[in-house]
Amino acid sequence: MIENIIINGLIHSGVYALLAVGFSLVFGVARIINLAHTAFYMLAAYLIFTFTSSFGLNLPLSVILSVVAVTIIGLLSYKLLIDPVREHETTVLIVTIALAIIIQEVMLNRYGGQAGGIPSLVSGYTEILGVKVTNQHLLTFGVALIVLLGTWALLLKTKVGIGVRSAAQDREVANLMGINVARIGMITMAVAVALAAIAGALVAPLFALQPHMWMHPLVMVLAIVVLGGLGSIKGSFVGAFILGFAETSVVFAIPEGSFLKGAVALSIMLVVILIRPQGLFGVAFEEER
């Protein structure tokens, strides 16, 4: 059981980390709570399904195509729908939730309540600690880790990354230092949506595709980001692992109580932010100017 928890926990946490890091980046830089974030994750999974089953493309090509397509859709929706109403914080919430519902409904109409699965990228399994792990699971975790490390390097080592981090710290001063904050916002959104799309591509062969598959990850991502501290990349990473493992432990330790997985994870988040209102690694935001 312990081995199961560790291995499944790592995989779930990896996927959650991909989603949460992107969400956190967008919040940090653009101060947007993007409730459609996990809808892009769902969209990527569905696009892969479309490319493989309707157009007969091979799997690696359709993965790449769908990540690119979702990134473009994400950027367009940011530019056309979210950016014009940015001044009204509450309106952004509804615009993004409406966007998520639109994506969900289009998928529901196109594919019905239950679409088929996607074949795994790799077959076979490896035995680790006496647990049979399919290679697809290993690949999922491996890719998640590599992509996360890549994002980390992008943020810490490149000029664009420094721009993103400084815009997250203080938008106006960053602007005064000659950083094109609007462009940084676009880049951040692109990175975030691409991360969500990669997460979607990774889970597509593991889970059954459903038009409602964005709801649960959305709640988890919100909880993770708050737990780790809004806008903190390290926090999102650590939060993803804490809540991912909490969820998996509930599922494997009390199988008859697996409906409690969300409740347990959210309770952990609540306890933490009631003790530390700014989350684990969050800095208390100074009053926005």
Q: How far is the CB of 134 from another protein (least distance, A)?
A: 30
Of 112 and 142, CB closest to another protein: 112
Q: How far is the CB of 23 from another protein (least distance, A)?
A: 11
Of 65 and 81, CB closest to another protein: 81
Q: Are 122 and 112 in contact (CB under 8 A)?
A: no
For Cα atoms 203, 206, 210, give the angle at the middle one, nearest 5 degrees. Answer: 75
Of 36 and 59, CB closest to another protein: 36
DSSP secondary structure string for all residues of 265-282: HHHHHHHHHHHSTT-SSP
In the chain, the amino acid numbered 277 is P
Helices (DSSP H) in 112-232: which residue ranges?
A: 135-157, 159-169, 171-176, 181-203, 215-228
Which of 223, 238, 242, 246 forms a contact with another protein (CB under 8 A)? 223
Characterize 12-42 residue by residue with b for buried, 16 or more Cβ atoms within 10 angstroms of its Cβ, and e for exposed.
Answer: bbbbbbbbbbbbbbbbbbbbbbbbbbbbbbb
* Contact flag: residue 254 with another protein (CB under 8 A): no
Which tokens go with 261? 């997985």
Task: Give, as ranges, the residues between 177 and 216 that touch another protein (CB under 8 A).
Answer: 215
Q: Are 100 and 43 in contact (CB under 8 A)?
A: no
Q: Are 171 and 52 in contact (CB under 8 A)?
A: no
* Contact flag: residue 286 with another protein (CB under 8 A): no
# of chain residues touching another protein (CB under 8 A):
46
Considering only CA atoms, give the Rg of the chain. Answer: 19
Q: How far is the CB of 67 from another protein (least distance, A)?
A: 25
Q: Are 118 and 52 in contact (CB under 8 A)?
A: yes
Of 158 and 267, CB closest to another protein: 267
* Contact flag: residue 83 with another protein (CB under 8 A): no
Task: Give, as ranges, the residues between 8 and 67 that touch another protein (CB under 8 A).
Answer: 27, 33
Which of 1, 68, 156, 263 forms a contact with another protein (CB under 8 A)? 263
Characterize 200-234 residue by residue with b for buried, 16 or more Cβ atoms within 10 angstroms of its Cβ, and e for exposed.
Answer: bbbbbbbeebbbebbeebbebbbbbbbbbbbbbbe
Task: Give, as ranges, the residues between 85 and 144 that touch another protein (CB under 8 A).
Answer: 85, 87-88, 90-91, 93-95, 97-99, 101-102, 104-106, 108-109
Q: How far is the CB of 20 from another protein (least distance, A)?
A: 12
Q: How far is the CB of 92 from another protein (least distance, A)?
A: 9
Task: Report the SS3 class of residue 170.
Answer: coil
Give the binding site for another protein (CB under 8 A).
27, 33, 81, 84-85, 87-88, 90-91, 93-95, 97-99, 101-102, 104-106, 108-109, 215, 219, 222-223, 225-226, 230, 257, 259-260, 262-264, 266-267, 269-270, 273-274, 277-279, 285, 287
